[in-house]
Amino acid sequence: MKSSDVGQEKIWEHFQNEGLESFSQSRGRQEFLARRLSPATRVLNIGVGNGVLESLALAKGVDIWSLDPSERSIDRLRQALGVGEKAQVGYSQAIPFADAHFDAVVMSEVLEHLDEAVLEATLDEVHRVLRAGGVFIGTVPARENLADSLVVCPDCGLQFHRWGHKSSFDIERLSAILATRFAVDEVFEQFFIDWESVGWWRKLQGLIKKFLSWRGIGTYGICRNIFFSALKPR
């Protein structure tokens, strides 16, 4: 494993365990995705975050499965939701499930963490585990300038993206990547904020960001995402 991959895993491990509050604004995005899932379908969520999507999917009657490289995150999910072996430790480029096992695969705020080689292998694996006609959905930050979030390790001087992002996407690039293996259904920018769980000041900030988003102003990748939906050809 490359040293950069080890560093990536350390970032994931921190935010998905000690740094769970970093997902505090994700519920609006997760609710949007959950509405796209049909009851009584088998769905794989890759990258569990704080487990909100799993909770929403179970409440809707979805047969939800999970994959994440963090053993602690998977253990927490199993204990909280009782999903047992449906939640597995593993990687998107080597999915530990059978061919054509799922009706849908979800990857929300994951693809931007992958370098080119891992992204290619991940798309192959998603295609493999989807049934014919199955859907691949998710989100990525929109038009993110990766340099805006570079930080420096005070011990070794290494520069890295504060959230561990390695790729930036716009609609055109994401559509082209998906089209190499899937029939692209929808790819569009969407503004997400969890209006219910934040106070009045965060609501005001959200409204300002939404207005700036409509005008094409502001920092890309902040509450502004690209939603995608693509089908495995029959």
- Mean pLDDT, each 10-residue run in order, the chain (234 residues): 53 59 72 96 95 96 97 94 97 98 97 96 98 98 89 82 88 98 96 60 52 49 81 96
Say which residue the tokens 């935010």 belong to.
Answer: 15
| CATH assignment at residue 123 | 3.40.50.150
How many domains does the chain divide into?
1
What pTM value is reported for the model? 0.82
- Give the ranges where the chain is alpha helix by DSSP (H): 3-15, 27-34, 52-59, 71-81, 116-129, 171-178, 200-215
- Write out the residue range of the structural domain in which residue 165 sits: 3-231
Q: How many helices (H) and strands (E) does the chain have?
A: 7, 9
pLDDT of residue 28: 86
